[in-house]
């Protein structure tokens, strides 16, 4: 449980950093739109996939 919480905190910190660059901003907006669309059509699997894609891409942006 602790490791899971720590991973979420690290991801949150990285998201704040990614928010500062233009590429990160565009990516974050699109990623959240994808999550919202999945929620609107009531697809937990699609929402989960969109969330994972957002986090993965954000990590790639941060590593650059």
Cα separation, 19 vs 28, whole angstroms: 7
Residue range 38-47: mean pLDDT, rounded: 93
**pLDDT, mean over the chain:** 78
Which has more pLDDT, 62 or 32?
32
- Quote the pLDDT of residue 37: 92
pTM of the model: 0.63
Displacement of CA 46 from its chain's centroid (Å)? 13
- To which H or E segment does residue 51 belong? helix 44-63
């Amino acid at each position: 449980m602790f490791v899971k919480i720590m991973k979420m905190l690290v991801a949150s910190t990285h998201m704040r950093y990614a928010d500062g660059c233009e590429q990160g901003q565009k990516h974050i907006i699109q990623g959240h739109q994808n999550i919202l669309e999945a929620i609107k059509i009531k697809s937990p699997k699609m929402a989960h996939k969109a969330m994972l894609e957002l986090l993965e891409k954000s990590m790639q942006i941060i590593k650059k």
